[in-house]
Amino acid sequence: MSTSKHQWEKLIRRIAQDTECVSFSRHALGQMRVRKITLSMALDVLRKGKIDLEPEVDMKTGHTCCRMERYTAGKAVAMVVACEDEHAPDCIVVTAFVVRS
């Protein structure tokens, strides 16, 4: 049985409680800087955000990528997070952007 969106949300939220367990790719940090997304905004998205789109497996790494979204600090922010599997102790933020409506 595959892992549900809700289960991925719970996993990412749990991981994000310990900031040492969350890494950011260079690309994600650059996108955050350009889009004026602060570290506290990013962590808020990871700790309280929702996954609306189905998580997808990255064919290159085998990690599952989830798009977490949340309205924070006046912006609708999305973070794409990669986890090795449903038992991952940590995750990496792949990219970040402001969602356009």
Residue 76 belongs to domain spanning = 5-98
Gap between the Cα atoms of 33 and 56, Å rounded: 26
Q: What is the pLDDT of residue 97?
A: 98
Helices and strands per DSSP (H, E), number in the chain: 3, 6
Domain CATH number, residue 28: 3.30.2310.40
What pLDDT, in 10s, does the model give residues 37-91? 999 999 999 999 999 999 999 999 999 999 999 999 999 999 999 999 999 999 9
Domain count, the chain: 1
User: Residue 47: enclosing H or E segment and its boundaries?
Assistant: helix 39-48
Residues 35 and 96 sit within 8 Å (Cβ to Cβ) = yes
Q: What is the pLDDT of residue 85?
A: 94
Q: Which parts of the chain are beta strand (E)?
A: 22-24, 50-51, 56-57, 64-72, 75-83, 91-98
